Amino acid sequence: MKPDSGLVRFLSSISPVRLVTLGYLSYILVGWLILCLPLSHRGSHVYSLDNLFTTVSALSTTGLATVDVSEHYTLFGQIVILLLIELGGIGYMTFGSFVVLSRGGRLSDLREGISKNVFSLPKEFRIDKFIRSVIIFTIIVELIGAAALYAIFRSAGVKNPFWNSVFHSVSSFCTAGFSLFNNSMESFSGNFWLNAVVGLLSFTGAIGFIVLVDIWRRITGKIHHITLTSNIILRMSFALLVIGTFLFFFTEPMLKTMNPETRIMTSVFQAMTAMTTVGFNSIPIGSIATSSLVILLLLMIIGASPSGTGGGIKITSFTALVGIIRSALRGDTKVRFLGRVIPQRRVQAAMANIGFYLFVLILGIYVLTLTEKTSFRDIFFEAASALGTVGLSTGITSALSELGKIIICGLMFVGRLGPLTFAIALSAKPLQDDNEIAHDVAV
């Protein structure tokens, strides 16, 4: 395609936020059509709506499923699902950009702008080096994770340990939560190494690429201190994990029959799976107490860090909210966190992000109460899980009505983009600077 072609000029006239939205929609369409092929199905026919649901869930790295992946999809179909998970986890422009860079080419201004928007990168960031780092790091981590899981699955006598290890490594790192086991990770609730490997993969993916690069630069001595944003993300992630684990350990009745080691592992795993939005479960979520669901709900809504593979309102937005509350209580006119002033425009963007998120969540819950005949508790949890791209469920996903499945698909798609980003994409007029606003929300 020539640089001055009409298509390039047309794409250049569209804001990066809208192009990202259109890009994800195009991948959903292609993935849906491929999954509808008979080649993708095993045994009984899978309805088109279920294929669409699976496609959106995979690309949004959610993990909710209306049909069992291993029972209803062939190896070809499972590979398609895994590719969609990888595309959704890393970003739809990253692979194309990496191909251009690997051939020694230069990214066009259009592709560079979109890539910066996908990762919420600062303006001074070198996108070419960043994308190379993302791809190389992703491949290395997923290969190491697959090797570790292969040893675990083989030792446990799991059938086809090689494919299971590859699938679950990618699913864990991309915080997708898709599993080839019909009970997720419940069969491995007492397996320390499985819990540890899946937990590390999920946390690594959810913590955010920018934070990982920042940590690497600190380790290699290129910088003396990590940035304030990375410091906030790491501290808040650790605090939320500890608090969630503590509350789950002492309040969930189901854990009382377990031995202390399994009880601790289960508590850490479920707090981690909600906070990173990976969505695996080592105990049946539909059987836990309502108080435990509330804990998971709060962790799911807060979610992961920006530029990672997880969802939620993001830790940085939650941090801004905490800063506002503390400033109000102290009578301080400026919002501070860790002794540093948070810029006003970032505070406003964070509050707008939280506001849009809650609005979409409440709207989704309201519509689902009209279409579904189940408890409000289960509907609330399902909607929050979809919008947070988590994938945990009390067991109502497969029983959703056709309208319910469409609504959940919408929530998963909006959750993948981010409610505020989705609102910007729908706005009739481009807001002052889409890239700047998206970056403010994330950082």
Going 145 to 311 to 55 to 210, the CA torsion angle's sign is: negative
> Can you read off the two tokens belonging to residue 56?
């959106």
What distance lies between CA 82 and its chain's CA centroid? Answer: 15
Please tell me the distance from the alpha carbon of residue 257 to that of residue 247, in angstroms, as a whole number: 17
- 359, 383 Cβ separation under 8 angstroms: no
Q: Where are the domains of the chain?
A: 316-442
DSSP 8-state secondary structure symbol assigned to residue 289: -
Neighbours of 211 (CB within 10 A): 23
Amino acid identity at 124: E
Query: pLDDT value at position 304?
Result: 85
Angle subtended at Cα 308 by Cα 239 and Cα 183, rounded to the nearest 5 degrees: 80
- Domain 316-442, CATH among 1.10.287, 3.40.50, 1.20.144, 2.70.98: 1.10.287
Instruction: Give residue 116's pLDDT.
Output: 55
Q: How would DSSP label each residue in 163-230?
A: HHHHHHHHHHHTT----SSTTTTGGGTT-HHHHHHHHHHHHHHHH-HHHHHHHHHHHTTS-SS--HHH
- Other CB atoms within 10 Å distance of the CB of residue 259: 9
Question: According to the model, what pLDDT value does residue 137 have?
Answer: 85
Paired residues of 336 in beta bridges: 341
Q: Which residues contact 200 (CB under 8 A, 6 or more apart)?
A: 145
**How far is the C-alpha of 202 from the C-alpha of 184, rounded, in Å?**
15
Average pLDDT per block of 10 residues along the chain, 443 residues long: 52 63 87 95 87 96 94 96 91 52 56 56 61 83 96 95 97 94 92 96 86 82 81 90 96 92 95 94 94 96 83 87 88 80 81 91 97 96 96 95 97 84 55 43 42
Q: How far is CA 10 from CA 4, 280, 421, in A?
A: 10, 42, 21
